Amino acid sequence: MGTALIYDEEMTKYKLLWVDPACKIEVPERLTVSYEALKNSGLADRCVSVPVREATDEDILLVHSEEYLEAVKKTPYMTLEDLKEFTLQYGDVYFHPNIYHCAKLAAGASLQLVDSVMTGKVRNGMALVRPPGHHSMRSAASGFCVFNNVAIAAQYAKLKHGVKRVLIVDWDVHHGQGVQYSFEDDPGVLYFSWHRYEHQKFWPQLRESDYDNVGKEKGEGFNINVPWNKVGMKNSDYLSVFCHMLLPVAYEFNPDLVLVCAGFDSAIGDPEGEMCASPDIFAHLTHLLMNLAGGKVCAVLEGGYNLTSLPQSVCQTVHTLLGDPAPRPANLDGPCESALESLHCSRSAHRKYWSCLKHAAEHPSSDVSTKRLKLAEEEEKVENGEEKEKAEEEVWPEPPKRVTAPVRTALVLPDGVSCPDRCKLFSSSKDPVIVNKLRENFPRDAADSDALTTLSSLVALVEKMEKNEICNGLALVQDVSMAMTCVVQHAAIALSNRVLVVCVGDVLVPAHYKEDGTILLVHFSNKEEEQKSKYHIPVCLKKGCSDVSGFMQAVLGLLLPLGYEYDPSLVLLARTPDSGLCDGAWQQLTGLLQGLAQGHTLVLLQEGERAYVGPTASSLLGEAAPSVGKIKAPLLEDVESMEGLRTRLQVDWKLLQTTAPETG
Ligand SMILES: CC(O)(O)CCCCCNCCCN
Ligand SMILES: [Zn+2]
């Protein structure tokens, strides 16, 4: 299924008609440069174009009051003076004779997107709209927003499509207070937002934007705020919050639909955010959401005011929605102290609502540490001179070209096993060089020509992945350990870079591999093994991988951060029949790991598990994994061993940190 793109140039036909420094950044060009970039990169033509429609009064009244709607309805007939007067009652927003029409189109576009996804016409999609929506409230416009596009879409999805649980991810750099107010008492809508806050100094300067605002009444726990108390947040900060806060809770919430308040003012170069995350981070943020809700993800544009990073970020998002593997996450050097403080506060505020956070370290005396940080930041500000002059013109590299491999998924199968459609059956021509090398390395199997054939096919396949002629692969082999050793040996030699090896079940891990960092081995099993080194990480789960919640929490909070920080050029995923891992969790794992190594994932299955060929292939082809259902509390001993492992490992692996290091 495809990706919808919803855009209409009518939404560029309104602008600021008077002088107002607060609003001058919200210009029509935001939309035209974004759409042009999608057209010029060929991405728009790969999408299913879905037309906009006007939201009806009924649609708008799902969130807004009648008096507000009636008032806005009058604006097309107002004189310039009346428009100015009307605008004065709201904050940081402007009206225009055509903005009511555009606001109906922006909301209607969001509903068209929800319809297209919920009816299965497309798998996911993006709506390029203005005016944005997440600040507008029941009876008030705010922050360039007139109608709350995403809030209306969420209510509409529940009402018209019977959606029970909607996850709203707001990665815009401002707090979508309008969304928070709409759903703070609603357990059917989990609202997650990070936002520039600076201890309430940054617009809209609301006390209720802080981490301790967790929702109200039945909605307690279903509102997550992660305030950024400093500018300059980077890719590591964003990925840490996704891995250690959003994703664990999102998987526990198990949404039927994911809506994204896709604001790109959280990217580098934006005058509002003043953050330092690169546009390609949105490829990863999007990817990390695409195995939730069976892949039903609707991204709706919110903010984004740098006319260079905005289109780049939009293209990164749409690339990933289309299934293109993400670029490698360059040099993740770990979250900053301020981000860790915010992450910690947010996690501890939600400890009692989410079992995945139940063991999040209780915040010491939170106010003391926050005050300590605040004091330090105040002093820093004084040193840097009170008014930080606007960040000098930021420059950043153009996101790398994302070329899709001619072949997406290649399979190495023994005779008699049918190859799922859309996959390419792969067998290497018996390359004598490879065969001879294998004879040397695997004398005992040299006799068994089948094994030799398989091994030489594997090596040839890895070489094709290295050249990006093939994106990912799957092999059904006699002996998984042997095959893994062979690939590891070849890869470590041939691939100048790093191989992440993920073993599920009791695979005999390649014992003799070097400890030089060319291999990172993460081994999920139910056997206690002490951790051999920084690069050999046994993850012991009491019930092995059969306990889905423990396994998923280990994947989200341990494996993903490790994988992102390690940044391999190849991911080798091996499982043995005794792993006990259920299909859903296995496909989640296979799906999530494709965010690494530009999607170069090689899966090794044991002969006897040919039933897994189909489901694994569909995940490798980019199909969303089935949801694993609501995951319940992990086993206490698993959580404790995971926390212990994380504590030991975070010395070497910064992305595993969830709390600010206790300093002085
Ligand atoms: C959709 C959105 O969240 O990007 C809207 C942001 C509104 C910002 C209002 N203050 C602007 C002050 C100008 N320096
Ligand atoms: Zn914003």
What angle, 0 to 180 degrees and rounded to 10, lies between the N-to-C axes of helices 309-321 and 281-289?
A: 30
Q: Which residue is closest in CA terms to ligand 1's atom 2? A: 303
Inform me whether the pLDDT recorded for 459 exceeds 50: yes
Q: How confident is the model at residue 663 (pLDDT cuts 50, 70, 90)?
A: low
Q: What atom in ligand 1 is closest to the CA of residue 304?
A: 4
β-bridge partners, 223: 191
Q: What atom in ligand 1 is closest to the CA of residue 91?
A: 9
- Residue 60: predicted pLDDT: 99
User: Is beta strand 407-412 parallel, antiparallel or unpaired with respect to 499-504?
Assistant: unpaired
Residue 586: in which H helix or E strand, if any? helix 583-593
Query: CA-CA distance, 51 to 648, in Å (whole number)?
Result: 53
DSSP-derived secondary structure letter, 570: E
- Catalytic site residues? 135
Q: Which residue is closest in CA terms to ligand 1's atom 7? A: 143
Q: Residue 104: which residues within 8 A CB-CB, separation 6 or more?
A: 54, 55, 60, 147
Span 77-103, pLDDT tens digits: 999 999 999 999 999 999 999 999 999
Q: How confident is the model at residue 384 (pLDDT cuts 50, 70, 90)?
A: low
Inform me whether the pLDDT recorded for 664 exceeds 60: no
No. of H helices and E strands in the chain? 23, 16
Query: CA-CA distance, 399 to 40, in Å (whole number)?
Result: 15
DSSP-derived secondary structure letter, 200: T
Which residues form ligand 1's pocket by a CB distance below 6 Å? 22, 92, 132, 135, 143-144, 172, 174, 203, 263, 265, 302-303
Left, alpha or beta for 647 (phi > 0: left; psi -120 to 50: alpha)?
alpha
Query: CA-CA distance, 465 to 470, in Å (whole number)?
Result: 5
Centre of ligand 1 to C-alpha 305, Å, is 9
Give the rounded distance of the alpha carbon of 340 from its chain centre.
Answer: 18
Inform me whether the pLDDT recorded for 429 exceeds 80: no
Q: Which residue is closest in CA terms to ligand 1's atom 14? A: 22
Residue 61 class from Cβ within 10 Å (0-12 exposed, 13-18 middle, 19+ buried)?
middle
Higher pLDDT, 529 or 552: 552
- Residue 512: predicted pLDDT: 62
User: Is beta strand 166-170 parallel, antiparallel or unpaired with respect to 189-196?
Assistant: parallel
pLDDT (mean) for 218-240: 98
Centre of ligand 1 to C-alpha 135, Å, is 9
Inform me whether the pLDDT recorded for 316 exceeds 90: yes
Share of the chain above pLDDT 70, in %: 94
DSSP codes of every residue in 427-455: -----HHHHHHHHHH-HHHHS-HHHHHHH
Q: Which residue is closest in CA terms to ligand 1's atom 5? A: 143
Query: CA-CA distance, 193 to 223, in Å (whole number)?
Result: 8
What domains are defined for the chain? 2-328 (3.40.800.20), 407-629 (3.40.800.20)
Sign of CA dihedral 392, 373, 643, 583: negative
Give the rounded distance of the alpha carbon of 214 from its chain centre.
Answer: 22
β-bridge partners, 533: 536
Probe ligand 1: pick from 173, 174, 266, 302, max atoms within 8 Å of CB?
A: 174
Q: Which residue is closest in CA terms to ligand 1's atom 9? A: 143
Q: What atom in ligand 1 is closest to the CA of residue 22?
A: 13
Inform me whether the pLDDT recorded for 556 exceeds 80: yes
Residue whose token pair is 């094709």: 464
pLDDT (mean) for 27-31: 98
Centre of ligand 2 to C-alpha 270, Å, is 10
Inform me whether the pLDDT recorded for 386 exceeds 70: no
- Residue 293: predicted pLDDT: 98
Q: How confident is the model at residue 208 (pLDDT cuts 50, 70, 90)?
A: very high
Q: Which of 63, 246, 72, 53 is nearest to 168 (CA)?
A: 246
CB atoms within 10 A of CB 589: 25
Q: What atom in ligand 1 is closest to the CA of residue 303?
A: 4
Helix/strand/coil for 36: helix
Helix/strand/coil for 298: strand
Range from 269-273, 503-507, 656-660 carrying the lowest mean pLDDT: 503-507
Inform me whether the pLDDT recorded for 390 exceeds 60: no
Centre of ligand 2 to C-alpha 130, Å, is 12
Query: CA-CA distance, 501 to 612, in Å (whole number)?
Result: 19
Instruction: Report angle CA 240, 243, 244 to the nearest 5 degrees.
Output: 80
Q: Which two tokens mark 333?
A: 């050097």
pLDDT (mean) for 245-258: 97
Inform me whether the pLDDT recorded for 388 exceeds 70: no
β-bridge partners, 142: 91, 145
Residue 408: in which H helix or E strand, if any? strand 407-412
Range from 146-155, 176-185, 577-586, 645-654 carrying the lowest mean pLDDT: 577-586
In the sheet that holds 519-525, the strands lie side by side as: 424-425, 407-412, 470-477, 601-606, 570-575, 499-504, 519-525, 536-540
Share of the chain above pLDDT 90, in %: 75
Inform me whether the pLDDT recorded for 510 exceeds 50: yes
Span 512-523, pLDDT tens digits: 667 788 899 999
Inform me whether the pLDDT recorded for 259 exceeds 70: yes
The whole-chain average pLDDT of the chain stands at 92
Q: Which ligand is nearest to the CA of 196?
A: 2
Helix/strand/coil for 195: strand
pTM: 0.95
Residue whose token pair is 């004398």: 443
Centre of ligand 2 to C-alpha 147, Å, is 15
Span 172-186, pLDDT tens digits: 999 999 999 999 999
